[in-house]
Amino acid sequence: MSRKRSQVSQYYVIAAVVAAELNHTLAYCKQINLTASNAQAASSRVGNAALGFKALTGFIDDLACYTMKAATDINTLAHTASKMATDTARAAAALKHFEKAKLKAIDAKYAASMAPAVAQTVSNFNKLQKSFQALINQMEQQLHELKRNLRTANILASICRIEACRVDVANQATFNDVANKVDSVANLIRQRVDNAIALFDTTATQKAA
């Protein structure tokens, strides 16, 4: 039982850190949105030579919106997990008190009268723990899904650099800057996501041990 309580405590910390990491991610998404808007304005000024690049800005904007929604959804799960971890910890504490009471009252005449309350507390704790674990698993899966989708950013940045070569030299720097910005911000987001995923990997290793 103490090991289960320890795992709940670990996941409570994980949920809090994941929420913090994804708060940074939301700020980065806004940077990508702004970059897409600036790129669209720049491509409009250049005209037909930048039509391909202008189309790419839509994909960049879509990626930013997807990443922002995914980060928000995972963040919501993290906050829910924090609340559920508190509820699970309280149920574990109640169970611990019942276990102590049972030991002290083992020879008492009405000791058996505690059985229904103990059984109800055990059932409540097990249900909470099962729901909590499912929520943690969902959060981890969504983090991996977000990381996979972030690979699109590097592809978009590479295509942006190709499209930059199609415009006149005077505007190439502007479009290359957009590509570099998308690349760098996507890498920052990926690092935050990796930090969050690493927390689950560490806990899984400790659990296996």
Q: 180: which residues sit within 8 A by CB, 6+ positions away?
A: 157
- pTM for this one? 0.75
Please answer whether residues 120 and 94 qualify as being in contact, where contact means their C-beta atoms are separated by less than 8 angstroms.
Answer: no
Quick: pLDDT tens for 7-62. 666 777 777 888 888 888 888 888 888 877 877 887 787 777 777 887 888 888 88
What SS3 class is residue 86? helix
Domain count along the chain: 1
Which residue segment(s) compose the domain that 176 sits in? 2-208
pLDDT at 74 over 60: yes
